[in-house]
Amino acid sequence: MADWLSALNPMQQRAVLHGEGPLLILAGAGSGKTRTLTHRVAHLIGERGVEPWRILAVTFTNKAAAEMRERLERLLGAAALPWVSTFHAACVRILRREIAALGFTPNFVIYDDRDSERLLKDCLEYARIPEQTLNARLAGALIDGAKNKGLTPRAYARGNDQHDGLAAVYTRYQDLLRRANALDFGDLLLTTLRLFEELPDVRDRYQARFHHVLVDEYQDTNAVQYRLTNLLASRHRNLCVVGDDDQSIYRWRGAEIGNILDFERDYADAVVIRLEQNYRSTGNILDAAGAVVARNARRTGKTLWTENPRGDKVGVAALPDDLEEARFVAREIERLIAGPWARREIAVFYRTNAQSRSLEEALVRYRIPYVMVGGIKFFSRAEIKDVLAYLRMLVNPADSLSVKRVINVPARGIGAATVERIAALEEEAGGFLAACRAALERELLKPLQAEKVRGFVSMVDTFTSSLEHLSYPQLTARLIEESGYGPMLREDASPDARDRLQNLEELLKGMEEHAGAERTLQDYLEQVALVTDVDAYDGTVDRVTLMTLHAAKGLEFPIAFITGMEEGLFPHARVSDGDIEEERRLCYVGMTRAMRRLYLTHALRRRVYGDFQANPRSRFIDEIPLELVDAVGPVAAAEARAAEWSPRARGPVGMGRAHDAGPERIEVADGEDGECVRVVYDEDGLRVGSRVRHGTFGVGTIKRVEGAGERQKVTVLFRSVGAKKLLLKFAGLEPA
């Protein structure tokens, strides 16, 4: 134990040695929280004699859980490991044992977002709700949001904040999931909570079992996770939560920053320990990031420090447009990898996925290999989902969605009309596969249709019986061939078909690795259902990494670029004033991913939906003290033409907000017709991104300023009526 403690700083040691009772560890970015958490678990087991099976440790990504398990195995050995998993995986483990009490069977399948969307399309058609009113993607997001708040269909229907028609859709969606013996991601948490709240004997059993509950990334917990955590820990009150309110960036998926901010209200006797020594970043990067997040009002007090060198200043580059911005990033990466840096040590972050296109094109042009995290996930590819649907159908014959997906894939002559005729029996028969058998028994299909359906059912029965004597990788290989899927792709000579065959080979290879650990097909299907974008990231591949800022959380890179640092893009235009603090936290997360060098780039104009927008650089750049930044890259031509330069216009680093700089105009050529856009800053705060008030339309945000003098026009996005183009001299706009 002395050796374990010697590797920790004094505050980490305090956290590890804490005895009984609630503990809040406020762990700043790069402060060694995973090391602290794993050493605390090791201390509980190795020194305090807590049995491993009485400890539950949960986190948010499979990657983080795997890292924690590996560290614990090095400290304790493989035989002494507690429950370490994500929230969702822990809930699946409990549900496999207990869900029969709620009317499901333990072989339930897990639907991902795309599966849910397909099922919701059926629900919307059944309810005859037009797509203009509610589409499947929006319905899925709204239902997921309701589940994150702990709202069942009945509770949602009683609430005041309803979307038209959603209550009925939500009710039918849950009914179809139950019939299919399936759960979606939100159900994994909500159904476990139902188990504990509705069945006292189940709740008592798990409360008695877990003497210690540890939760990583507590700032990311939603309402259901909060209730689950506190319910499990309520008997012994040994709840240790680790997190950083400055890194709470998932409000859009239900995370509640109040869970960590109010921990001391929930547990008045809690011990609070701050981990403020940063081991990741240089002093300049850390100070710059700290200066940005310090502008937030709703945060706990902590100041990160480091013994690392001061390092390079933060590089800030202003480019004429988004294409030049992408080329600057590519050229700078080319220069870096010509020196001591490897491609895998460099990451490029962006606020929205739409920004990746120009970056990808620039990297291709400069022949720089890259990997994109968050593109089409491997397990979301059509050929992979098709094969997995076959397997899910074998494990859970009630999974009608999977049966319908593959009944005519590859094409075997079972058309939409036949499927519809069979589906009429689905509710009575208890599933679509059972309906196929019923339709054949009752001779409801035409002879040719019956022959095709009988062949499909017979194939399913053959594969099902093979489950008993074949390993699931072998079964999958046979299924790909005997279903006709493999032959179909080989007959197609296109490059796309070859890629799809390679993907299936990769699937089989992954299955072999998984089966080598003596896991079952159900285990495998469960694992792939819980895979996230970040879990698929492989840091050993020597390629530049592209990803959104949200996906970057939990990772670190020696060199990082944050692109698109402009008002309206980052912070995003859709963000309300109340949410600007989350955008600032997102910026802080991005900046603290960088270990040695950090670049912030912005474009003076950017093409959006075929039109140019000219937005001022992000306020987050202006919140960094001048002494911590350096202007890098070419001086933007548009700025060089400005007749009168204020500190803000003169270079990429300003002295404060735009209205502090006095009157100025930055002229930017726009479009093939030679029209000029002038982004105007004046004492009245008139600029792109300004909030203004109109006598008739109310409050809005300036999206564009064009022309000059008597003919100057502004495009304003009003909350009440949408976008309006107004002649400025007659608009009567006032700062809002």
Contacts (Cβ under 8 Å, ≥6 apart) of 602:
316, 317, 318, 319, 325, 564, 565, 566, 617, 618, 621, 652
Backbone phi, psi, residue 486, to 5°: -60, -50
Contacts (Cβ under 8 Å, ≥6 apart) of 705:
614, 677, 678, 679, 680, 686, 687, 688, 712, 713, 714, 715
Which burial class, exposed, middle or buried, applies to 6 when counting CB atoms under 10 A from its CB (0-12, 13-18, 19+)?
exposed
Element housing 669 (H / E): strand 664-669
Whether 247 is a known active-site residue: answer: yes
Element housing 648 (H / E): helix 647-650
**Sign of the dihedral defined by the CA atoms of residues 43, 48, 49, 51, in that order:** negative
CB 219 within 8 A of CB 29: no
Whether 443 is a known active-site residue: answer: no
Backbone phi, psi, residue 257, to 5°: -60, -25
Name the residue among 728, 91, 601 with its Cα closest to residue 321: 601
Among 112, 144, 187, 216, the active-site one is 216
Name the residue among 547, 632, 28 with its Cα closest to residue 287: 28
Distance CA 334, CA 339 (A): 9
Which burial class, exposed, middle or buried, applies to 459 when counting CB atoms under 10 A from its CB (0-12, 13-18, 19+)?
middle
Amino acid at 2: A
Coil/strand/helix, residue 612:
strand
**CB atoms inside a 10 Å sphere around CB 361:** 14
What is the radius of gyration, based on Cα positions, of the chain?
Answer: 28
The torsion defined by the Cα of 58, 60, 64 and 69, in degrees rounded to 10, comes to: 20
CB 374 within 8 A of CB 353: yes
Backbone phi, psi, residue 595, to 5°: -95, -45
Among 98, 187, 217, 220, the active-site one is 217
Distance CA 630, CA 612 (A): 28
Which residues does residue 702 pair with via DSSP β-bridges, in sequence order? 716
Whether 34 is a known active-site residue: answer: yes
Whether 33 is a known active-site residue: answer: yes
Distance CA 138, CA 129 (A): 13
Amino acid at 458: S
Tokens of 221: 């917990």
Among 35, 593, 597, 703, the active-site one is 593
Distance CA 83, CA 510 (A): 24
Among 12, 13, 33, 221, the active-site one is 33
CB 370 within 8 A of CB 360: yes
Name the residue among 498, 470, 483, 504 with its Cα closest to residue 406: 483
CB 183 within 8 A of CB 111: yes
- Which of the residues are catalytic? 33-34, 216-217, 247, 593
